[in-house]
């Protein structure tokens, strides 16, 4: 009976301590994420309006189409903001591990959106090139279209760097994917600018630069979609942490005073949070308090090395036998 209380006390206290610490850090991180998303949303709404008006007044179908595409960006902005808000609610009775997977889901959905954007650009680019090869012509745009296009690229590139830095600071997959979405928009606008500039300065035959650039950009966006979507899918499928992080965890546990051996190491990510489960073996004569301090020591070291970590450590008495393993290799101290 004492053994069961021993295991439950150590594990429950560790989990509750981790949840409380993570909740405070998560609130600060979530505020930064929401601020970053609102900046992107406001910028996209303004860019969309300016592009549509410019496309109509400046007789540029390319800028007009880009403005309509920017309306779709506001949908992505709203999606990211909603997911960030949900993930920021933290853990409760229903979501004991928190809501970090909402950010992961947002990253996956953004990768799907990037694929749709790329396929659309590719389709339109191939169609326009085909028309050009068969005698079709494109309308010559007004000078204002070029100016607005350049401003749009500068704004989108600035948003990319701001969002990317915030995503790295908060370790948010959603913001990292969101940053690549801004970069994809900047690249698609560059393709539009090539067509506009070619039509304005090089003559009618060079207007084909627009669809050719769009085709090249669509391929690049597909690559970005893959780079964004793959880690999101892996996290949703609960793939283990990278081998170097698992090795770091093993080294920390093995170097902790009082740990004789460990096994059953299981790891995964939940948004920006790393979840680590393990069994450790300690001297069977230690008190509950002493064993608890060992688990607290492991938790502190893991947090220092990896960032936000939720640990679930099961304590067992060590009997002096070499029967613990990690990644197929037996480990004892």
Q: Are residues 221 and 247 in the same domain?
A: no
Mean pLDDT calculated for residue range 293-301: 94
Task: With beta carbons less than 8 A apart as the criterion, state whether 153 and 189 touch.
Answer: yes
- State the pLDDT at residue 224: 79
Q: Are residues 165 and 92 in the same domain?
A: yes
- State the pLDDT at residue 297: 94
In a domain, 223, yes or no: yes
In a domain, 22, yes or no: no
Q: Are residues 204 and 315 in the same domain?
A: no
pLDDT of 137 over the 70 cut: no
Radius of gyration of the chain (CA): 26
Q: Are residues 206 and 261 in the same domain?
A: no
The band of 312, judged by pLDDT with boundaries at 50, 70 and 90, is: very high
Scanning the structure block, which residue is given the tokens 């396929």? 119
- State the pLDDT at residue 65: 66
Instruction: Give strand pairing partners of 275.
Output: 268, 310
Q: Are residues 116 and 224 in the same domain?
A: yes
Domain termination site, one of 217, 236, 255:
236
Q: Are residues 98 and 208 in the same domain?
A: yes
- State the pLDDT at residue 59: 64
Q: Are residues 58 and 172 in the same domain?
A: yes
- State the pLDDT at residue 77: 80
Quote the distance between the C-alpha of residue 150 and its chain's center.
28
Q: Are residues 122 and 261 in the same domain?
A: no
In a domain, 8, yes or no: no
Q: Are residues 88 and 205 in the same domain?
A: yes
For 13-46, write each residue's pLDDT tens digit: 444 445 445 555 666 777 888 888 888 888 888 8
In a domain, 19, yes or no: no
For 233-251, write each residue's pLDDT tens digit: 998 898 999 999 999 999 9
Count up the domains in the chain and report the number. Answer: 2
Segment holding 282, helix H or strand E:
strand 273-283
Q: Are residues 258 and 149 in the same domain?
A: no
Query: What CATH number is given to the structural domain containing 305?
Result: 3.30.70.1350
- For 313, counting Cβ atoms within 10 Å of its Cβ (0-12 exposed, 13-18 middle, 19+ buried), the class is buried
Q: Are residues 79 and 128 in the same domain?
A: yes
Domain termination site, one of 187, 207, 236:
236
Question: What pTM did the predictor assign?
Answer: 0.67
Q: Are residues 299 and 150 in the same domain?
A: no
> Which domain range does residue 258 map to?
243-330
- State the pLDDT at residue 257: 93
In a domain, 81, yes or no: yes
Mean pLDDT calculated for residue range 101-115: 85
Task: With beta carbons less than 8 A apart as the criterion, state whether 265 and 275 touch.
Answer: no
């Amino acid at each position: 009976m004492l053994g069961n209380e021993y295991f439950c006390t150590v594990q429950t206290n560790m989990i509750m301590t981790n949840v409380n610490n993570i909740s405070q850090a998560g609130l600060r991180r979530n505020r930064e994420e929401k601020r970053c998303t609102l900046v992107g949303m406001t910028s996209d709404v303004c860019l969309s309006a300016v592009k549509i008006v410019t496309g109509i007044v400046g007789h540029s179908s390319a800028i007009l189409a880009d403005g309509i595409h920017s309306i779709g960006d506001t949908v992505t902005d709203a999606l990211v903001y909603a997911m960030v808000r949900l993930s920021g609610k933290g853990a409760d009775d229903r979501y004991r591990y928190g809501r970090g997977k909402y950010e992961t889901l947002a990253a996956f959905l953004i990768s799907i959106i990037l694929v749709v954007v790329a396929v659309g650009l590719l389709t339109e680019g191939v169609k326009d090139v085909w028309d050009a090869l068969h005698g079709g012509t494109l309308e010559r745009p007004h000078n204002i279209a070029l100016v607005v296009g350049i401003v749009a690229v500068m704004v989108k590139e600035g948003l990319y760097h701001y969002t990317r830095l915030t995503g790295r600071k908060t370790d948010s997959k959603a913001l990292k994917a969101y940053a690549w979405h801004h970069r994809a928009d900047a690249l698609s606008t560059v393709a539009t600018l090539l067509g506009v500039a070619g039509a304005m300065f090089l003559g009618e035959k060079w207007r084909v630069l627009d669809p050719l650039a769009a085709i090249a950009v669509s391929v690049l966006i597909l690559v970005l979609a893959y780079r964004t979507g793959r880690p999101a899918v892996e996290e949703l499928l609960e793939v283990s942490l990278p081998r170097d992080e698992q090795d770091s965890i093993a080294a920390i546990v093995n170097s902790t005073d009082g740990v004789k051996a460990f096994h059953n190491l299981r790891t995964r990510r939940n948004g920006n949070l790393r979840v680590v489960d393990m069994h450790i073996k300690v001297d069977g004569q230690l008190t509950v308090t002493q064993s608890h301090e060992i688990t607290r020591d492991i938790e502190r070291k893991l947090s220092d090395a990896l960032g936000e970590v939720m640990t679930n450590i099961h304590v067992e008495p060590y009997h002096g036998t070499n029967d613990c393993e990690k990644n197929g290799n037996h480990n004892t101290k």
